[in-house]
Chain A
């Protein structure tokens, strides 16, 4: 298969992820009253029955989930198998967008938007920039050196998958599975404001009240990462600033 065909398939994954994310965004909003639950008592503002994913819109949600799951796993398969790095990155973006749709299904609307902005936006651009610098497809993606070790690794991954699935399958799922979560209140709040689950206001209130220290620590970490990235990627001397460029002609004072 030529590179263009692969790029087209990757673009298909991208479109699939986008459409699915859009559909998932539209789904919870449709069919029930605007559920801004400020000044409501917990649980009274949102009618749980009409927002039940499983029973409220059964088949549609199932189709949506399987489409998003296909996008997720298909994109990951692209990352694993493609020689062309751009195709791999596009598969990764498809995975991220499909995951944003899944976050929407889990009522994590704020996190879904952040997922699209940070992963499908910023991190993808960073990867594409580095691929532009490198611009060299792999000789042999899977590498036949150390084949016994790789067979062992495959077996170990199979074992890991089986154990993980056994672990999560034994999770005690409550009977009220996938009923829309109740509105959220915070104990320290004197005004007893109630927020919709997963909304920006709820996440922000949690972030700036209970988790203020991790938030500040993240700001320090990002600062260190920026400085560190510049320090690591900076050329050690001027001669290899441009890869493949001729060394500058001696011009007297240097």
Chain B
């Protein structure tokens, strides 16, 4: 147990990424504000990036870094479009509560 606390290995980084990913899933499933949901998606993307970089370090391969860079660029594009959608929703409805966004359901 003490060894687990003081001897940091790759497993620590991977488990931390798993915890972060699950917290992101929790945010997406449980929160109602669309902005918080987008932040939670960012958390999940970052957890995936941490995993990619850990494996890149483990194998000594810089390709993982390139992959993480591309993930960051895609996340930036996703945030831009997603926030534009949130603003457009708010303009029409005065709220961004996903529990009340059920027009397509009825």
Give the interface of A toward B (CB within 8 A): 53-54, 58-59, 61-62, 65-66, 69, 72-73, 76-77, 79-80, 85, 88-89, 92, 95-96, 99, 102-103, 105-108, 110-111, 114-115, 118-119, 122-123, 126-127, 130-131, 133-134, 136, 138-143, 145, 150, 153-154, 157, 160-161, 164-165, 167-169, 171, 173-174, 177-178, 181-182, 184, 195, 197-198, 202-203, 205-207, 210-211, 214-215, 218, 221-222, 224-226, 228-230, 232-233, 235, 240, 243
A-B CB contacts (within 8 Å), total count: 249
Q: List 6 A-B contacts (CB under 8 A).
A: A130-B86, A136-B95, A174-B58, A203-B65, A206-B65, A229-B80
In the bound assembly, the distance between CA atoms of A137 and B32 in angstroms comes to: 11
Q: Is the interface of A mostly helix, strand, loop or mixed?
A: helix
**CB-CB contacts below 8 Å: B55-99 with A:** 56-58, 60, 62-63, 65-66, 68-70, 72-81, 83-88, 90-91, 95-97, 99
B-side contacts of A72, CB under 8 Å:
16, 20
Further pairs besides A65-B8, A79-B36: 15, Cβ < 8 Å: A62-B5, A92-B42, A108-B68, A111-B72, A118-B72, A130-B35, A133-B90, A139-B97, A142-B30, A161-B19, A169-B11, A178-B8, A181-B60, A182-B60, A232-B88
Report the contact-size class of chain B (Cβ under 8 Å from the partner). Answer: 35 or more
Give the interface of B toward A (CB within 8 A): 5-27, 29-33, 35-36, 38-40, 42-43, 46, 49-51, 53-54, 56-58, 60, 62-63, 65-66, 68-70, 72-81, 83-88, 90-91, 95-97, 99
In the bound assembly, the distance between CA atoms of A187 and B6 in angstroms comes to: 38
In the bound assembly, the distance between CA atoms of A72 and B13 in angstroms comes to: 11
Asked whether, in the complex, the Cβ of A114 is within 8 Å of the Cβ of B72, the reply is yes
Q: Is the interface of B mostly helix, strand, loop or mixed?
A: helix
Asked whether, in the complex, the Cβ of A160 is within 8 Å of the Cβ of B25, the reply is yes
Asked whether, in the complex, the Cβ of B35 is within 8 Å of the Cβ of A173, the reply is no
Q: Which of B23, B36, B69 has the most CB of A within 10 A?
A: B69
Asked whether, in the complex, the Cβ of B36 is within 8 Å of the Cβ of A88, the reply is yes
A-side contacts of B75, CB under 8 Å:
119, 123
